[in-house]
Structure formats: C-alpha cells, structure tokens
DNA sequence: TTTTCCCGCCAGAAG
DNA sequence: CTTCTGGCGGGAAAA
C-alpha cells in the first residue's frame, strides 16, 4: 500500500498515472488529433507531423498510423514530406461516396485495361487494380503512390469500409473481414497480422463514430457495425460545419446486387493480393457471416441483446434519467474534459483509485446511454 | 485464458 | 550518407 503511494509521488507533473493502455490507444490519439485541427481552415491549414506528434505527446510513428487512416477517409491529404493538408471532416461524406462507387464498380468489371472509363464493361483480365487506380480524374480519393505495397494501412482501411458500403451486411467480425479482404486468407500468420491492423483502423473509425463495436450478447465474439458519418465524433461534439438532421441511414445499405455466387471453394490458389473484386470479398464475407449466424442462432434464438450493464454505479432510474442526461450531454462533456484536465493529484493512492473508479463508472454509463440514444434515433 | 492492440525494430524509400 | 515512412509481429494490458 505505502509503496504505491511513494510511486504516485512522482515529480513528473502531468500524470502520475500508472501505465494505462487505453489512454494511448489510436482511437484516443485520433480524437486528440481531430480536436487539435478540426476547425482549422480546411484546405489551407497544414499539419506537420513533428508538430502534431509533439503537441499530442506521442512518437512520430503513431502519427503515421492515424494520419494514414484519416487520409483514407479524406480528412487529410499528404502534401509533402512531413506535411499534410487538413481537408476537414466535411470531406468524409464525399469520400465515402467515392469509395462506395469504386467498390461497386470493382464489383463486376475488373477495370483491367480501360483506365478511367465510367461505364462498366465486362471483361476480366488478370490484372485489375483495386482502387485509386491511375485515373487522374479521381480528385478526392487518396492518391497513394502506385504500388506502395498494397498492404498499406490506408488501403486496408478503405477496403474495410467498402465491405460495409458495398455489401448488405452491416455487422462484421474482424476475423471474417480479414479473411474476406484481399490477401492470403489461408496463412494463419498473415491473417493474424491483418487482424491486428484491422483493430487499429477499427479504433480510429470508432473514434470517428463511423462504426460501433457491438457485443453479441454472450458467447458471441465482438463485431463492428457500420454507423456511417453523422457529423459527430465519438465524444458527441458536432462537426464544426453544421447540424445535419437525424438521417435514418446515411448510405443505403439497400444495394441488392446480391449475386450469390457461393464461391465457397477457396482453393489454395487464391487471387493475387489486392487483385480481388469486391464481389468476391462480398460473397466471401456473406458466407462467413452466415456460417457464423447459423451457429450462433442455434442457441441464441432472437435476443434483443440490448443488455447494457451499468455496473456498480448504475443510476437508480436509468430510463428516467436518460433523456435528461442526453439533453445535457454537451455540458457533461465539458465536465468530462474538465475532470480529465484537472484530475486531482491525489497523493493518496486509495483516493486516487476511488476517483478513477468513479470516472470509469460514470464514463461507461454515459457511453451506454449514448449508444441507446443513437440506436433509437435510427 | 483469449482478445485486443501498443510499441518500436528495422527495411525500404526519399532526399 | 541521413531522414522519413510505415510494415510487421512480439508480447503485455484488458477482458
């Protein structure tokens, strides 16, 4: 007990905090990054990697992760060495639209020879580029260097999004996504690495509120559900831009290009990495999800799964409190940032822990409440 | 335990 | 050469 106290007594000002993994997550970093630049004049404000890294207190390596993913969404664009241009969150809907279009286009034609033809033509040649192919017309999409190792995080991130936008499934298990996305789906090591990466992008997308992590009641593995861009970040702040209406479902997930091919028989041959069409990814994914669902639904008939556990600090009347709480989210947010900014520097470990505990409990309650709210909205 | 996923090594690419 | 990028996977925190 006393030994800990002495530890907390650190002379390092800011944060006695013992190591906490989640405070350093990419998601948090992304939020901070956005908080730092959102509001800047889009298109002209430039982001310096070193500057950002310093201001956010992280190593430069991490900036690459965040920036690459954000770039795949159009929020920033690489300008030069160490320099990115802030494009703004307003860029997101446009970019998603484009990704969806690209994804659908890749569906049937393979875009082999024809460079930027708008009309789809049926001809499948061996070499088909995945996205951001040559087409200079492709203004706002990412402009990756040609074949910069098609394993890039940015590409993975875009393909991950396409999975949602171009298929009718809206709940995806990362394991399945890894298998469905381009690349070797048979090699266990490769898959594990890909899943690691997917966790990375999922974290930043979560902080953008583009997707949401959901838990399939019990026994179910965690999965992600597409939310689409609603103009709000994870912490409830509105985009600087405007206050769009509720919007039932941002992008139609009603594409019915089902084309169930049942190409279950995945031979060892497989397709060259990144040369896979969305349709294959789609079908593959659908298969995987079905497989999963069949197994799942066996024992869990049709559970509402809205079981939120409020933990030990559950408010007495959650339901009653919920509405009120939501009206005050904004204010609460201020409290939150205040609390984290002026976190008491308790020299007594017990007190410190208690405070932390309260914060945790309160945060999860707030989070859960928010989730329910958004669920009701759409 | 398994799942999540941060950290930072180090191999190219750029300058 | 130095500096910048960013795959990659070990292994430890979280569940």
DSSP character string of A291-349 = HHHHHHHHH--S--------GGG--TTHHHHHHHHHHTHHHHHHHHHHHHHT----SSH
Do residues A143 and A276 both lie within one domain?
yes
- In this complex, the answer to whether residue A61 has its CB under 7 A from any atom of chain B, a nucleic strand, is yes
- Mean pLDDT across A86-115: 72
- Mean pLDDT across A314-339: 36
* Residue A40 domain flag: no
Model pLDDT for residues A21-30, shown as the tens digit of each residue: 989 999 999 9
Identify the bridge partners of residue A225 per DSSP, sorted by sequence position. Answer: A171, A212
Nucleotide nearest to A197 (CA to C1'): B5
The alpha carbon dihedral of A156, A161, A166, A171 has a sign of positive
Compute the distance between CA of residue A178 and CA of residue A195 in angstroms, rounded to an integer.
Answer: 6
CA distances from A115 to A104, A129, A166, A207, A264 (A): 16, 10, 22, 36, 31
Query: Does the pLDDT of residue A155 top 60, yes or no?
Result: yes
Q: How many CB atoms lie within 10 A of CB A20?
A: 10
Compute the distance between CA of residue A26 and CA of residue A302 in angstroms, rounded to an integer.
Answer: 34
Give residue A46's pLDDT. 86
pLDDT band at A292 (very low <50, low <70, confident <90, very high): low
* Helix runs in A134-173, H state only: 153-165
* Residue A301 domain flag: yes
Compute the distance between CA of residue A231 and CA of residue A252 in angstroms, rounded to an integer.
Answer: 17
Counting every residue written for chain A, the total comes to 378
- In this complex, the answer to whether residue A278 has its CB under 7 A from any atom of chain B, a nucleic strand, is no
The parent domain of residue A319 ranges over 309-378
* Residue A132 domain flag: yes
Euclidean distance between the first and the last CA atom of chain A, given in angstroms as a whole number? 49
Q: Which residue has the higher pLDDT, A251 or A166?
A: A166
Do residues A366 and A297 both lie within one domain?
no
pLDDT band at A341 (very low <50, low <70, confident <90, very high): very low
Q: Which helix (H) or strand (E) holds A224?
A: strand A222-226
pLDDT band at A277 (very low <50, low <70, confident <90, very high): low
pLDDT band at A207 (very low <50, low <70, confident <90, very high): very high
Do residues A336 and A288 both lie within one domain?
no
- Mean pLDDT across A263-283: 44
- Mean pLDDT across A198-204: 96
* Residue A52 domain flag: no
Give residues with Cβ within 8 angstroms of A351, minimum separation 6.
A344
Do residues A246 and A372 both lie within one domain?
no
Instruction: List chain B nucleotides near protein: any atom < 7 Å from a Cβ.
Output: 3-10, 13-15
Do residues A165 and A149 both lie within one domain?
yes
Query: Residue A52 burial by CB count (10 A; 0-12/13-18/19+): exposed, middle or buried?
Result: buried
Task: Confirm if A65 and A153 have CB atoms less than 8 A apart.
Answer: yes
- A244, A228, A330, A239: which is closest to A42 by C-alpha? A239
- A132, A76, A71, A146: which is closest to A103 by C-alpha? A132
Do residues A132 and A146 both lie within one domain?
yes
Instruction: List chain C nucleotides near protein: any atom < 7 Å from a Cβ.
Output: 4-11, 13-15
Model pLDDT for residues A347-364, shown as the tens digit of each residue: 444 444 444 444 544 554
- Mean pLDDT across A305-325: 32
pLDDT band at A86 (very low <50, low <70, confident <90, very high): very high
- In this complex, the answer to whether residue A219 has its CB under 7 A from any atom of chain B, a nucleic strand, is no
Query: Does the pLDDT of residue A78 top 80, yes or no?
Result: yes
Chain mean pLDDT for chain A: 62
């Amino acid at each position: 007990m006393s030994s800990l106290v002495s530890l907390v007594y650190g002379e390092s000002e800011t944060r006695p905090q013992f190591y906490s993994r989640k405070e350093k997550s990419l998601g948090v970093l992304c939020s901070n990054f956005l908080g730092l630049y959102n509001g800047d004049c889009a298109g002209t404000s430039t982001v310096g990697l070193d500057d950002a890294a310093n201001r956010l207190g992280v190593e430069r390596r991490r900036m690459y992760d965040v920036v690459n993913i954000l770039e795949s969404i159009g929020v920033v664009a690489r300008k030069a060495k160490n320099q990115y241009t802030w494009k703004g969150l307003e860029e997101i809907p446009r970019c998603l639209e484009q990704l969806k279009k690209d994804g659908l286009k890749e569906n049937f034609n393979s875009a082999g020879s024809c460079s930027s033809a708008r009309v789809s033509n049926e001809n499948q040649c061996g070499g088909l580029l995945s996205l951001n192919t040559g087409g200079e017309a492709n203004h706002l999409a990412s402009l990756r260097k040609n074949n910069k190792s098609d394993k890039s995080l940015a590409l993975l991130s875009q393909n991950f999004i396409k999975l949602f936008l171009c298929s009718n499934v809206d709940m995806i298990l990362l394991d399945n996504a890894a298998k469905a996305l381009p690349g070797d789906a048979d090699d266990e090591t490769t898959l594990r690495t890909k899943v690691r990466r997917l966790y990375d992008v999922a974290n930043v997308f979560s902080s953008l509120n583009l997707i949401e992590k959901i838990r399939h009641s019990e026994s179910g593995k965690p999965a992600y559900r597409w939310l689409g861009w609603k103009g709000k970040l994870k912490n409830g702040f509105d985009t600087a831009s405007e206050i769009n209406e509720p919007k039932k479902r941002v992008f139609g997930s009603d594409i019915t290009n089902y084309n169930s091919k049942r190409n279950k028989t995945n031979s060892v041959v497989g397709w060259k990495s990144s040369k896979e069409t969305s349709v294959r990814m789609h079908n593959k994914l659908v298969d995987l999800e079905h497989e999963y669902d069949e197994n799942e639904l066996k024992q869990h008939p049709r559970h509402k799964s809205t079981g939120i556990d409020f933990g030990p600090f559950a408010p007495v009347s959650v339901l009653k409190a919920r509405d009120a709480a939501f009206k005050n989210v904004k204010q609460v947010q201020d409290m939150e940032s205040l609390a984290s900014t002026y976190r008491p520097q308790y020299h007594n470990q017990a007190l410190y822990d208690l405070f932390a505990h309260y914060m945790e409990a309160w945060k999860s309650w707030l989070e859960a409440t928010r989730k329910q709210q958004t669920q009701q909205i759409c």
